[in-house]
């Protein structure tokens, strides 16, 4: 069925009756009542469509008509690009899956964002109804908006010059009425508003399926918005205030049926405390003036003023750029194991830990020239474990994830070991052989060097200049040589640092 002619006729009818736009309050009310939406790789989530409102909201963006508009919002979890397929169909068997014998319905959409909250006070002003091709901020018209099916990069490249993120409609059923919705560079905590229409005016379900899940650079949606209350348990900010937080208590059909919250009250307590104090004037489902650390609580009340069952809910907010913490470490292997496993250990305020702010990341630095100058050896990672680390001097640098303003460094880590070869050719590079990091010994280590026949060539002071590859003033040939070292163990396996002996070999290369 072609949609183009009905759209044109419907547009002129609306224009003749009431101009370009329908009643602004209807637009605001519908937008403010948007419902949470998400796409999850473990679930095929579907949501009911809307019927009985064929007039809709008139012309919005690239949509010449908006019959039966359904309003949704999504919250970004992991940052990156998100690509969705939007489908609508008559779910005859009610299993929330599109079966081969079930009929798909025409679905169109427009999306806006990003926003700090899903609750937009003035949707008419905040959600652009048209596009601005010359970017002058004037004469913004729906006629300048395009269908992404015609120009796929129009909204991705922000050629609309508004906060419309994407917009599309199918002219025919050739594509099974599947629309593609793209957010090119979403960031964690951003909200996006989506309007989806039902041109057929038939009851069915809508599905938003993210098609690039798991791909490099792909972001994700946060499905915790489907639960009543505040989506986040905690919010870590790196010195960025004020913040906006929000929550809702939607109605549930049950059983038992739960009424929706229609009035709200925010309160605050210090971290680690339960003495909540109401915030004056904070009576909307969002609070946009979070300027300090604390626990922020939201209560919701139904139309009779009775607190709804899922109320209250709360979120902890912490400026992680200001927290104090210490970085320690453990070494798994015994000395002279060749390669080692370092594990960072972060200790911080017990209240911070109790509130769940433990999302640290770790970097390993290395003193490559043994001169006190440390350079990055392993980039920041979420795991505190660094494997396959050779002997040498290291430092572990830790910070709260994605907050460069609060880096902390461990003490120097001196891993005892030995070089596998040396080249005594007078170029000042690897000209002598000695232990690596013999200084950290309660009793001086002793080193003996032998040739392949077991002849003692040198008793070495491991804190001295090392062996230069000579015996009685004569140059020793290129070969494999052996050593025995008596030392005090420094690994975590032996906290008493018992005296031990280790034997190994190395190469002299001329």
- Residues 14 and 153 occupy one common structural domain: yes
In this predicted structure, what is the pLDDT of residue 43? 63
Tokens at 107, concatenated: 């679905």
CA distances from 269 to 238, 240, 244, 317, 419 (A): 20, 20, 17, 11, 57
Beta bridge partners of 183: 82
In sequence order, what are the residues at sequence separation of 6 or more whose Cβ sits closer than 8 angstroms to the Cβ of residue 11?
59, 64, 65
| 390 and 494 part of one domain | no
Task: Assess whether pLDDT exceeds 70 at residue 20.
Answer: no
Same-domain pairing of 400 and 428: no
| Residues whose CB is less than 8 angstroms from the CB of residue 199 and which lie 6 or more positions away in sequence, other chains included | 3, 65, 67, 68, 105, 106, 107, 108
Q: pLDDT, tens digit, for every residue of 207-249?
A: 888 999 989 999 999 988 888 999 899 999 999 999 999 998 9
More confident of the two residues 33 and 265: 265
Which residues have C-beta within 8 Å of that of residue 47, sequence separation ≥ 6?
A: 35, 37, 70, 72, 205, 206, 207, 208
Distance between CA 422 and CA 304 in Å, rounded? 84
Q: Distance from CA of residue 71 to its chain's centroid?
A: 26
Which SS3 state, helix, strand or coil, does residue 145 take? coil
| Predicted local confidence at residue 6, as pLDDT | 33
Q: How many domains does the chain have?
A: 4
Domain co-membership, 202 together with 248: no
Distant-in-sequence, close-in-space partners of 167: CB < 8 Å, separation ≥ 6: 61, 62, 63, 109, 110, 111, 145, 146, 147, 148, 155
Q: Pick the residue with more confidence: 447 or 100?
A: 447
Instruction: Specify whether the CB–CB gap between 340 and 327 falls below 8 A.
Output: no
Going by pLDDT thresholds of 50, 70 and 90, the confidence category of residue 55 is confident
Does 110 share its domain with 184?
A: yes
Question: What is the pLDDT confidence band of residue 44, given thresholds at 50, 70 and 90?
Answer: low
pLDDT value at residue 498: 81
Q: 474 and 406 share a domain?
A: no
Whether 440 shows a pLDDT value over 80: the answer reads no
End-of-domain residue from the set 306, 321, 336:
321
Confidence class for position 196, pLDDT limits 50, 70, 90: very high
What is the tens place of the pLDDT at every residue in 105-143? Answer: 999 999 999 998 888 888 888 999 999 999 998 889 999
> In this structure, are 174 and 208 located in the same domain?
yes
The pLDDT, as a whole number, for residue 405 is 84
Q: What pLDDT is stored for residue 18 in this prediction? A: 29
Per DSSP, the three-state class of 144 is helix
Residue 8 has pLDDT above 50, yes or no: no
pLDDT, residue 492, reads 62
Q: Is 217 left (phi over 0), alpha (psi -120 to 50) or beta?
A: left
Residue 494's pLDDT band (boundaries 50, 70, 90)? low
Question: Structure pTM?
Answer: 0.72
Percentage with pLDDT > 70 across the chain: 92
State which residues form the domain around 411: 325-415
One domain for residues 359 and 462? no
Q: Are 51 and 192 in the same domain? A: yes
The residue out of 169, 194, 225 marking a domain boundary is 225
Query: Is residue 477 pLDDT above 80, yes or no?
Result: yes
* Cα(459)–Cα(482) distance, integer angstroms: 12
More reliable by pLDDT, 492 or 420 = 420
Calculate mean pLDDT across residues 377-395.
95
What's the mean pLDDT in 358-383? 93
Last residue of a domain, one of 173, 202, 225: 225
CA triplet 70, 72, 76: central angle to 5 degrees?
Answer: 160
Residues 79, 122, single domain; the answer is yes
Q: Tell whether the model's pLDDT for residue 24 goes beyond 90.
A: no
Same domain, 95 and 36: yes
- The per-residue pLDDT for range 138-170, each reduced to its tens digit, is 889 999 999 998 999 999 999 999 999 999 998
pLDDT band at residue 173, thresholds of 50, 70 and 90?
low
Residues 26 and 76 occupy one common structural domain = yes
Instruction: Write down the mean pLDDT value for the chain.
Output: 88
294: domain CATH number is: 2.60.40
């Amino acid at each position: 069925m072609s949609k183009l002619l009905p759209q044109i006729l419907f547009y002129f009818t609306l224009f003749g009756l009431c101009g370009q736009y329908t009643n602004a309050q209807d637009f605001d009310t519908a937008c403010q009542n948007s419902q949470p939406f998400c796409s999850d790789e473990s679930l095929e989530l579907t949501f009911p469509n809307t019927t009985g409102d064929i007039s809709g909201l008139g012309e919005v963006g690239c949509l010449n008509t908006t019959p039966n508009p359904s309003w949704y919002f999504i919250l970004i979890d992991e940052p990156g690009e998100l690509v969705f397929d939007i489908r609508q169909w008559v779910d005859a068997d009610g299993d929330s899956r599109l079966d081969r014998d079930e009929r798909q319905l025409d679905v169109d959409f427009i999306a806006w964002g990003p926003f700090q909250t899903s609750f937009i006070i003035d949707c008419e002003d905040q959600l652009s109804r048209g596009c601005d091709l010359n970017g002058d901020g004037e004469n913004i018209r729906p006629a300048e908006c395009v269908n992404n099916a015609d120009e796929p990069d129009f909204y991705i490249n922000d050629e609309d010059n508004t906060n419309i993120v994407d917009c599309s409609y199918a002219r025919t059923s050739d594509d099974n009425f599947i629309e593609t919705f793209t957010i090119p560079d979403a960031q964690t905590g951003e909200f996006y508003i989506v309007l989806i229409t039902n041109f057929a005016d038939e009851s069915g379900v809508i599905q938003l399926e993210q098609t690039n899940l798991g791909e490099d650079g792909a972001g994700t949606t946060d499905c915790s918005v489907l639960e009543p209350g505040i989506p986040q348990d905690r919010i870590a900010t790196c010195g960025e205030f004020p913040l906006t937080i929000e929550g809702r208590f939607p109605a549930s059909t049950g059983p038992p049926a739960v009424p929706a919250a229609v009035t709200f009250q925010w309160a605050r307590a210090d971290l680690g405390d339960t003495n909540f104090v109401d915030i004056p004037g904070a009576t909307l489902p969002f609070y946009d003036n979070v300027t300090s650390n604390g626990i922020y609580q939201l209560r919701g009340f139904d139309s009779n003023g009775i607190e709804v069952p899922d109320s209250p809910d709360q979120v902890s907010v912490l400026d992680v750029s200001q927290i104090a913490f210490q970085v320690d470490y453990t070494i798994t292997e015994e000395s002279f194991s060749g390669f080692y496993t370092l594990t960072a250990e972060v200790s911080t305020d017990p209240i911070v830990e109790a509130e769940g702010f433990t999302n640290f990341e770790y970097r390993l630095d290395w003193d490559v020239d043994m001169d006190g100058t440390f350079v990055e050896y392993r980039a920041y990672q979420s795991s505190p474990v660094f494997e396959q680390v050779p002997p040498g001097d290291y430092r572990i640098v830790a910070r709260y994830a994605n907050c460069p303003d609060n880096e902390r460094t461990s003490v120097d880590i001196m891993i005892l070991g030995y070089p596998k070869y040396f080249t005594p050719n007078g170029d000042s590079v690897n000209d002598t052989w000695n232990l690596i990091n013999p200084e950290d010994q309660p009793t001086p280590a002793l080193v003996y060097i032998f040739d392949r026949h077991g002849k003692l060539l040198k008793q070495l002071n491991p804190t001295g200049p090392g062996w230069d590859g000579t015996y009685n003033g004569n140059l020793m040939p290129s070969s494999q040589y052996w050593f025995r070292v008596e030392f005090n163990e420094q690994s975590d396996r032996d906290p008493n640092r018992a005296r031990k002996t280790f034997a190994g070999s190395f190469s002299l290369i001329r």
